[in-house]
């Protein structure tokens, strides 16, 4: 095999080694809303369902159909098994590294750079691709699952440019230009940062291919019109997705476009620093808005000088000006005047980092000459090790949020998220302390009130929990999670009718939420509104056919009500079997439902055997009350009778 043919395999090997410990990291942060609570990824067909992501006020997949489709593919192949999601993320990242390899190599062989860099083109391209691929700053776009939005967009951004370069060099230019436009369109449907791609292609053309902008337009005007047409797709997705209207965003995030603009120079300098010295890295900076001129002015002057130098380079057609444009243009959508929820996130540096790395590689080559290979190899090993170490922080929700809080203790969102992780580990008192710290830092933090209320309700302090849920809703009236939790708390106090009102608000806000329909069905069943309850369960199953809890709840009603009151033994048995199969026949409550369905259908031997198994499972799980209820029903089945409840005194399905 020729040495040149080994180069791509070195990039692949570097990526695999750096990220080999990233495959078991759990879903964290925005993964919950975009993956675990996203009903549109649970069916891959018909294809338009995953291509229509939820519209839920700024979740990561909103307005990004390609990202949602990628999640649906993962779900179809492995459900919520995180290994597959991480494997796809890393595959995308390595493909992006290989595309960068091709771009850098072919750029070094362009006529204006060939004399100086042509002999070293392969080595420089390999160095840039490997260092970019293993750089620890990329972990947020690779290991944090939902931030594949950045890496998938990045891959298609790079492919847009790579296909243009190939088209400019090839006799089959139409094919390559068609692929460039296709990549650009897919990128626009992945993330809004893609907006600058057509401009970067034009700037590359002017810098390395054509003698002037006029010649670039004359030679490739049809390509530029086609690339520009992808902005129409982006505009459509923004209009029906998450349109970044400045005033609307400012109201949502709590600061103005002007304050955000003045904060970003400091953020950009921070990005440059951690590109060169990637420590410490932080999942969620909670970056403070700049208010005083001593903190604003120095960074602003530095960024203005960087912008001015890049503009001068573009005007005089200096090759390095393309790197400045790459860095600034790609950062512009998130680091300018459009106020986003947080001024700083490391995944925003996914593509801009390439400019810093390429400039650094050229600098090392200029200073060290042939010895630069040793320097680059040492840097690759060091950066790869830091990436491996950073992936260790992602090994659990607790470790990543404990790391974030240690680095940013005054970040209320980090404190709240640490509370969530502690809660899921059963460390209730520590979780409560984290939520309380978050509320001390930000008293009007609706999520912290809601999450604290959830723990208090679980601890039996229902009245106190209701106070926090109500406070969360005062802060954020359109907060379905708080409405849902308040409804559950009211049910525990016997105020089911009040709870129904809150559940109905959740269903109106989240009509695509199978869980919301299931919860409303439970409450309606409890007050004897059987037809309405059945309708809610059926809607839940239409939205999520494999929703075991809704199938079980509907089966319970159909099995335990007399036919005159809405019972249907045949369908109950089918649904109960389905629910048990989905849970592996390990849930006592689900087997209890199946036993009731068998009895309703007249299959008493099966009912007795299944009820006995359910009782043993309940006892082994410490569910004494459920075991007692099953024993009562078992007496019915032994005597050849089905267990029926009246619609007037119905026992609603309990959460399973």
pLDDT tens per residue across span 81-129: 999 999 999 999 999 999 999 999 999 999 999 999 999 999 999 999 9
Are the CB atoms for 272 and 331 separated by under 8 Å?
A: no
Calpha distance 16→12 (Å, rounded): 6
SS3 of residue 288 by DSSP: coil
Model confidence pLDDT, tens digit, residues 168-214: 998 789 999 999 999 999 999 999 999 999 999 999 999 999 989 99
Provide the pLDDT confidence category of residue 317 given band limits of 50, 70 and 90.
confident
> What pLDDT does 252 receive?
56
Are the CB atoms for 614 and 588 separated by under 8 Å?
A: yes
- Of 5-9, 163-167, 242-246, the range with the lowest mean pLDDT is 242-246
pLDDT of residue 244 exceeding 60, the answer is no
Two tokens, residue 285: 């900076």
Indicate the fold that domain 511-656 takes in CATH: 1.25.40
> Which pairs with CB-CB distance under 8 Å and at least 24 residues apart come from 476-482?
476/446, 478/57, 478/509, 479/446, 479/450, 480/505, 480/506, 480/509, 480/510, 480/513, 480/516, 481/450, 482/446, 482/449, 482/450, 482/453
Calpha distance 563→199 (Å, rounded): 68
> What pLDDT does 654 receive?
45
> What pLDDT does 170 receive?
84
Two tokens, residue 62: 């909103």
Give the pTM: 0.87
Phi, psi of 647 (to 5 degrees): -65, -20
Calpha distance 240→341 (Å, rounded): 19
SS3 of residue 354 by DSSP: helix
Residue 537 DSSP class: H
Average pLDDT over residues 593-615: 91
The residues spanned by each domain of the chain are 3-27+80-391, 511-656
List the one residue out of 579, 578, 577, 557 whose CA is nearest residue 568. Answer: 557
Average pLDDT over residues 331-339: 88
pLDDT of residue 57 exceeding 80, the answer is no
**% of the chain exceeding 70 in pLDDT:** 95
> What pLDDT does 241 receive?
66
Residue 336, H or E segment: none
> What pLDDT does 647 receive?
54
Provide the pLDDT confidence category of residue 404 given band limits of 50, 70 and 90.
very high
Residue 490, H or E segment: helix 480-492
> What pLDDT does 656 receive?
39
Contacts of 492 (CB under 8 A, 6+ apart): 457, 462
553 exposed, middle or buried (CB, 10 Å; 0-12, 13-18, 19+)? buried
Calpha distance 561→546 (Å, rounded): 24
Provide the pLDDT confidence category of residue 55 given band limits of 50, 70 and 90.
confident
Give the residue, 342 or 72, on which the prediction is more confident: 72
Average pLDDT over residues 344-361: 97
For residue 265, how many other CB atoms are within 10 A of its CB? 23
pLDDT of residue 651 exceeding 70, the answer is no
Average pLDDT over residues 644-656: 55
Are the CB atoms for 112 and 318 separated by under 8 Å?
A: no
């Amino acid at each position: 095999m020729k040495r040149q043919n080994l180069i791509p395999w070195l990039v692949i090997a570097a990526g695999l080694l750096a990220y080999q410990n990233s495959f078991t990291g759990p879903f964290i942060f925005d993964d919950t809303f975009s993956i675990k609570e996203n009903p549109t990824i649970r069916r891959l067909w018909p294809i338009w369902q995953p291509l229509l992501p939820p519209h839920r006020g700024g979740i990561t997949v909103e307005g990004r159909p390609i990202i949602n489709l990628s999640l649906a593919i993962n779900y179809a192949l492995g459900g919520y098994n995180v290994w597959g999601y991480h494997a796809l993320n890393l595959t995308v990242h390595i493909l992006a590294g290989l595309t960068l390899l091709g771009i850098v190599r072919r750029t070094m062989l362009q006529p204006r750079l060939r004399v100086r860099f042509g002999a070293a083109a392969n080595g420089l391209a390999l160095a840039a691709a490997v260092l970019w691929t293993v750089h620890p700053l990329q972990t947020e776009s690779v290991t944090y699952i939902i931030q594949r939005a950045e890496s998938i967009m990045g891959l298609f951004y790079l492919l847009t440019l790579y296909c243009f370069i190939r088209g400019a060099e090839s006799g089959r230019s139409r094919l390559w230009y068609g692929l460039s436009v296709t990549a650009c369109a897919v990128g626009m449907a992945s993330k809004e940062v893609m907006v600058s791609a057509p401009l970067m292609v034009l700037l590359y053309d002017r810098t390395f291919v054509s003698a002037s902008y006029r010649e670039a337009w004359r030679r490739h005007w049809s390509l530029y019109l086609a690339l520009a047409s992808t902005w129409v797709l982006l505009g459509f997705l923004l209009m029906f997705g998450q349109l970044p209207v400045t005033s609307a965003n400012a109201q949502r995030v709590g600061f103005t476009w002007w304050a955000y603009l003045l904060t970003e120079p400091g953020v950009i300098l921070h990005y440059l620093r951690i590109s060169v010295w990637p420590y410490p890295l932080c999942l969620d900076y909670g970056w403070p808005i700049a208010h005083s001129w001593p903190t604003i002015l120095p960074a602003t002057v530095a960024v203005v000088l960087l912008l001015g130098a890049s503009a001068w380079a573009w005007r005089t057609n200096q090759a390095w000006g393309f790197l400045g444009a790459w860095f600034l243009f790609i950062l512009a959508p998130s680091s300018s005047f459009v106020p986003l929820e947080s001024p700083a996130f490391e995944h925003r540096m996914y593509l801009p980092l390439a400019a810093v790395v390429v400039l650094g590689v050229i600098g090392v080559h200029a200073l060290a000459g042939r010895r630069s290979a040793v320097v680059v190899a040492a840097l690759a090993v060091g950066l790869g090790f830091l990436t491996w170490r950073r992936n260790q922080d992602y090994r659990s929700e607790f470790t990543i949020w404990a790391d974030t809080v240690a680095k940013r203790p005054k970040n209320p969102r980090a404190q709240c998220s640490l509370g969530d992780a502690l809660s899921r580990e059963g460390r209730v008192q520590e979780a409560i302390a984290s939520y309380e710290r978050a509320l001390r830092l930000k008293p009007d933090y609706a999520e912290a009130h809601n999450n604290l209320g959830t723990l208090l309700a679980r601890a039996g302090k229902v009245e106190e929990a209701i106070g926090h849920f109500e406070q969360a809703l005062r802060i954020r009236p359109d907060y379905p999670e708080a409405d849902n939790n308040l409804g559950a708390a009211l049910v525990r106090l016997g105020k089911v009718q009040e709870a129904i009102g809150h559940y109905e608000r959740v269903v109106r806000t989240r009509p695509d939420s199978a869980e919301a329909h299931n919860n409303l069905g439970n409450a309606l069943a409890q007050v004897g509104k059987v037809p309405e309850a059945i309708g809610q369960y059926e809607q839940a199953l239409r939205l999520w056919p494999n929703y075991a809890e809704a199938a079980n709840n509907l089966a319970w009603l159909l099995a335990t009500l007399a036919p005159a009151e809405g019972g249907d033994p045949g369908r109950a048995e089918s649904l109960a079997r389905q629910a048990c199969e989905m849970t592996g026949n390990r849930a006592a409550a689900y087997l209890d439902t199946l036993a009731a369905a068998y009895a309703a259908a007249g299959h008493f031997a099966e009912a007795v055997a299944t009820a006995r198994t359910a009782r043993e499972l309940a006892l082994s799980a410490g569910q004494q009350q459920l075991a007692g209820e099953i024993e009562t029903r078992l007496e019915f089945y032994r005597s050849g009778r089905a267990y029926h409840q009246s619609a007037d005194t119905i026992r609603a399905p309990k959460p399973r």
